[in-house]
Structure 1
């Protein structure tokens, strides 16, 4: 391979490593710079540019003859413009202005893009080295093998996927990202509720131990009657706790669509207008994220007839759900709302919801 192209390839690989390191540390002044920067449009543009350059690079690598100058041109553009822009955009998506979760998601996607790009560049380097060796040995260049083409195509597709995911997140913005996550957690809670509804405590006893004492003829009948009574009492207790658990969980599940429809849909960038609303959005996510796991733990304890543990997790669920609803009871930027503004529908709904949750929580407080 020509020394010039080899140097450019090595520079690209070195830069990718340096940029990935840079992405692990928020530089001083990034938070201040982000206030006036259009980070998400830049992230979209640079990801699109990376996808376009990767397409060119892959085509040049698998099309004979292997043109060193053309490959070098694409790599230089990546090194000098595309990659620096992509890294700059991702670093401008600061936790303070875009939430920690969104910041982490963007960094993960950009790091993935870099990793997959590195794999592609290595494949291109291997092909270039092979072509040069062939010319040196035979004076001519053979075509690209199927395995080489497949390797380049696969690596290119992975970069495309990472770029598409980054573009999707950037276009949807912070609120869109949060809404998608909340929808996922909503579905998990719904699935858990449906599973509890489908669970039949009467099917838990398979009768395996019903005649355990009857084989030796010692008190089998009396023992059997006592066991039947115990089974009936346990089944009745399970049924009662299943009923109270479902009564409690249904309003919890209703909080998710209510928040999505009234506080996230059509919110635009309103929650990012002030640092207090960014923190509110952050806390909202943390509370709504914790609920599905607590519900699963409560359901698992219920299935094992461990009512005390189940109640403990239901109380955790109540705390998180209540905090989530209270966080967004007022509209975004409510400090700027005039006193004579129309009453907010969700604010009124949240008051009713809190009363309902207080009422259905009475049964779990007994445990």
Structure 2
């Protein structure tokens, strides 16, 4: 029985590594086969397989740390993993294609599935070590695992659970839920940047700079010490304009979340146009926090040209995002305006006016 179990361990480890490779470089045939699959199949299959994997590793863990060590029971769990659970998990992940679920969601799922397999590898190897220990004790009275040995197995099992839970959460929330979570993250980054600019005081920076100069050469700098009121005034003016511009930009995120993503269901996935819109929406909303950081950096360094350049890039991406979802999902461009459509048109006018002020200064 021990030889048979050893072979099963080897098979499981080799299979997991092969599946990791498959997820790293999905074959072109996977995308073709997915075209024939119903949209509703991949995510439920992903949920079910991750749930089954979680249950199986629980059994595997308990069998490994509980005496007596039963080779046949552990072999059964491993064979079930090899023959059904793992193939189902990988198949589900490969059915997530850009054409049906967006490239970003595919990348997320493939990465999460690989994480599950990586953690599973760790657990299987730990159980294999337990098996090796029991083999060495063969013929003698079998001893229980030490507390430390048991903790290693349970800790490794916990990591597999966590990885499975993330996959289950993502698959149950679906593409729109995934997009919402990302948009919320980018929203928080923009809010943090705005708060940082609000708290920044140009006069404090000037004082700190003068203190450093005085520390370096107190006598030489005392004669030259004077506040640059013109530069400080300019910094304060640009800070004011920057905040006046960024606060409406920050409003884009909750507005899109509440009016175009929350309760959207599968409407954005109903057509290739909707998928492309989601892709473009994410690209533009993700770019905004980086542009805001660059604009803030230019402001802090009194590089107003650089700051204005990145504020305009911010405006371009934010305006594109708003325009992409100007009308409800699936509605014609000339459909009657809803609450968000009216808000969006007003928002575009406000941002255009503020942008003119920034260019003038």
State the TM bucket, normalised to the shorter chain.
over 0.9
**Contact preservation (8 Å) 1:33, 1:92:** no
Match for residue 293 of structure 1 among 290, 301, 318 = 290
Secondary structure at 1:144 match in 2: coil
User: Which runs of no fewer than 5 residues in structure 2 stay unpaired?
Assistant: none
Q: Distance in 2 between matches of 1:63 and 1:96?
A: 47
Q: Distance in 1 between matches of 2:289 and 2:234?
A: 24
**Contact preservation (8 Å) 2:239, 2:299:** yes
In the alignment, structure 1 residue 310 sits paired with structure 2 residue 304: no
In the alignment, structure 1 residue 255 sits paired with structure 2 residue 252: yes
In the alignment, structure 1 residue 77 sits paired with structure 2 residue 74: no
User: Could you say which residue in structure 2 is the equivalent of 1:274?
Assistant: 271
Secondary structure at 2:7 match in 1: helix
Please state how far the C-alpha of 1:150 moved relative to its aligned partner. 1.1
**Contact preservation (8 Å) 1:30, 1:94:** no
User: Could you say which residue in structure 2 is the equivalent of 1:363?
Assistant: 357
- Counterparts of residues 117-196 of structure 1 (less than 5 Å): 117-136=120-139, 138=140, 140-196=141-197
User: Could you say which residue in structure 2 is the equivalent of 1:324?
Assistant: 321
User: Could you say which residue in structure 1 is the equivalent of 2:57?
Assistant: 54
In the alignment, structure 1 residue 334 sits paired with structure 2 residue 331: yes
> TM-score, normalised to structure 1's length?
0.92
Please state how far the C-alpha of 1:153 moved relative to its aligned partner. 0.6
User: Which runs of no fewer than 5 residues in structure 1 stay unpaired?
Assistant: none
**Contact preservation (8 Å) 1:40, 1:170:** yes
Please state how far the C-alpha of 1:354 moved relative to its aligned partner. 0.5
**Contact preservation (8 Å) 2:183, 2:257:** yes
Please state how far the C-alpha of 1:212 moved relative to its aligned partner. 8.5
Length, aligned pairs only: 355
Please state how far the C-alpha of 1:343 moved relative to its aligned partner. 3.0
**Contact preservation (8 Å) 1:37, 1:92:** no
**Contact preservation (8 Å) 1:298, 1:314:** yes
**Contact preservation (8 Å) 1:34, 1:93:** no
- Counterparts of residues 8-27 of structure 1 (less than 5 Å): 8-27=8-27
Please state how far the C-alpha of 1:31 moved relative to its aligned partner. 3.5
In the alignment, structure 1 residue 42 sits paired with structure 2 residue 36: no
User: Could you say which residue in structure 2 is the equivalent of 1:283?
Assistant: 280
How has the CA–CA distance of structure 1 residues 240 and 12 changed in structure 2, closer, same or farther, with 3 Å as cutoff? same
Q: Distance in 2 between matches of 1:37 and 1:48?
A: 17
C-alpha root-mean-square deviation of aligned residues, in Å?
Answer: 1.9
Task: Determine which structure has more spread, i.e. the larger CA radius of gyration.
Answer: 1
> TM-score, normalised to structure 2's length?
0.94
Q: Distance in 2 between matches of 1:315 and 1:67?
A: 67
